[in-house]
Amino acid sequence: MKMKFLTMFVVLIFMNGCSTNISKTDLELKQLRGYIKTVTEKCYSVQYDGAEYNIGPRKRDTVDILKFNFEPWDSCTHFNTHGMITKTCRLSCEDVVTVEYKYEYDAIGNIVKSTTTSDNKNLIEKFIYQYNTDNKLFKIKGFKNNFVNVIQELVYDKRGDLMQKIYYSKNNERIKRIDYTYNSKHQLVKEYVNEYKSKCIFPYYYIDYLYDNNGLIYKENVNYNRDRESYCNIYEFNNKGDKTKFQRLNSFGFPVIDVRYEYQYDTKSNWISAKLIDNDSVKYIIKRKIEYY
């Protein structure tokens, strides 16, 4: 399968970076250009000397991770020559691998297996991907301790878009169902998440997606039916497709998060340095090292 983190609430088929969109590679979905072998990202705190912001120690605050909507780990991601992720390693601030994700593909590029292992190489979980005669992914089996832990079944509409995903427990009981709606461009415009309780289905939340002229999601309306407050995410992008602004509005339309991003690029138009700016102050600097084939 050709290969996100629109937000932490977007439900993807694959764990940790791979999706069901077969029309684009992982490199394309990550707005990366060229034949890339590895991408290493490291997040630094900043020190202000009164005139400019300089790189400080490697450090991430847990509260900021949730607030600013970026991944809470430094990482090194490996790509094959087809632009697909084969391995992603989470790194500690001391560059120790804490979690490792691996992806295996068949001869035509379909993902067939993914594994997650801990820092001591113990298997945390494994996913096996099954395809029908039309080469459509229709079932994902998740394993923990070598036993089936969860099963996902996928249903497609006549246009080939993913219409429904049903989750089953290890006891083969339905636990969740996600329904998807698309526009005429095959863009996902609405996602309904439903939960099963005592064999009855209950709506939990739904998300409306709005797209800009470049096909990027610029607005997400997340609406909860219970338990949590609804909110709206708004994004702005530059001409390279990189996010330059992220704003979250609460249910009253008041901004609870409002951050900006500034980038420096290499000769292939991939960013190699990013500043996360909150209240006109640089909060973090993310450095990226890209190795090309």
Tokens of 236: 């702005």
Give pLDDT tens digits for 230-262: 999 999 999 999 999 999 999 999 999 999 999
Q: Would you state the pLDDT for residue 86?
A: 98
Residue 9 has pLDDT above 80, yes or no: no
| Owning domain of residue 187 | 26-292
Q: What is the C-alpha separation between 222 and 150, in angstroms, rounded?
A: 25
Q: Would you state the pLDDT for residue 2?
A: 40
Q: Would you state the pLDDT for residue 48?
A: 84
To the nearest whole percent, how much of the chain has pLDDT over 90?
A: 70
Give pLDDT tens digits for 130-147: 999 989 999 999 999 889
Average pLDDT over residues 88-100: 92
Give pLDDT tens digits for 270-293: 999 999 999 889 989 999 999 999
List the CATH number of the domain containing 181: 2.40.160
Dihedral, CA of residue 43, residue 48, residue 54 and residue 60, to nearest 10 = -10
Give pLDDT tens digits for 19-67: 444 468 999 999 999 999 999 999 998 988 888 888 888 876 666 666 6
Closest CA to 262 of 56, 53, 50: 53
Residue 3 has pLDDT above 60, yes or no: no
Higher pLDDT, 1 or 238: 238
First to last CA, the chain: 22
Categorize the per-residue pLDDT at 72 as very low, low, confident or very high, splitting at 50, 70 and 90: low
**What's the total number of domains in the chain?**
1
Examine residue 57 and state whether it is found in any structural domain, yes or no: yes
Tokens of 115: 């594994």
Examine residue 3 and state whether it is found in any structural domain, yes or no: no
Number of Cα atoms under 13 Å in the Cβ half of residue 138:
10
Give pLDDT tens digits for 183-241: 999 999 999 999 998 888 899 999 999 999 999 999 999 999 877 889 999 999 999 99
Q: What is the C-alpha separation between 290 and 266, in angstroms, rounded?
A: 9
Q: Would you state the pLDDT for residue 71?
A: 58
Examine residue 58 and state whether it is found in any structural domain, yes or no: yes
CA Rg value for the chain: 20
Which residues, at least 6 apart from 141, have a Cβ–Cβ distance to it below 8 Å? 127, 128, 130, 148, 150, 151, 152
Q: What is the mean pLDDT of the chain?
A: 88
Q: What is the C-alpha separation between 126 and 291, in angstroms, rounded?
A: 28
Helix, strand, coil distribution of the chain in percent, nearest 5 = 5, 55, 40
Tokens of 164: 């429904």
Examine residue 273 and state whether it is found in any structural domain, yes or no: yes
DSSP letter string, 236-256? EE-TTS-EEEEEEE-TTS-EE
Examine residue 55 and state whether it is found in any structural domain, yes or no: yes
Q: Taking a C-beta distance cutoff of 8 angstroms, is the pair 236, 219 a contact?
A: no
Examine residue 53 and state whether it is found in any structural domain, yes or no: yes
Average pLDDT over residues 110-116: 97
Q: Would you state the pLDDT for residue 10?
A: 33
Examine residue 75 and state whether it is found in any structural domain, yes or no: yes
Tokens of 79: 């790509």
Residue 11 has pLDDT above 60, yes or no: no
Closest CA to 113 of 125, 99, 121, 97: 125
Q: Taking a C-beta distance cutoff of 8 angstroms, is the pair 72, 97 a contact?
A: no
Examine residue 19 and state whether it is found in any structural domain, yes or no: no
The neighbour count for residue 111, using CB atoms within 10 Å, is: 24
